[in-house]
Structure 1
Amino acid sequence: MTGTAEIVMYGADWCGDCRRAKAWFKRNEVPYTAIDVEHDDQARDQAIELAGGRQNIPVVVLPGGVVLVEPSDTQLAEAVEKALTA
Structure 2
Amino acid sequence: MKGCIARILIFSLVLAWGMASADGIYTWTDAQGRVHFGDKPAENDQAKTVNVQINTFESVTYQSLDKGLPASAEGSGKVVMYATQWCGVCRKARRYFNDNNIPFIEYDIDKDPKAQARFDALQGKGVPVILVGKRRMNGFSAAGFERLYR
Q: TM-score, normalised by structure 2?
A: 0.47
Q: Which has the higher contact order (CA 8 A, sep 6+)?
A: 1
Q: Please state whether the residue corresponding to 1:33 is helix, strand or coil.
A: strand
Corresponding residue pairs, total: 78
- Structure 1 runs of 4+ aligned residues shifted over 2 Å read none
Deviation at 1:5, TM superposition (A): 4.4
Q: Which residue of 1 aligns with 2:135?
A: 66
Contiguous gaps of at least 5 residues in structure 2: 1-69
Whose strand fraction is larger, Structure 1's or Structure 2's? 2
Distance 1:14 1:31 in 2: 21
Distance 1:55 1:41 in 2: 16
Distance 1:5 1:24 in 2: 17
Q: Which residue of 2 aligns with 1:57?
A: 127
Identity %: 26
Q: Could you say which structure has the larger radius of gyration? A: 2
Deviation at 1:54, TM superposition (A): 3.5
| RMSD between superposed Cα atoms in Å | 1.5
Whose helix fraction is larger, Structure 1's or Structure 2's? 1
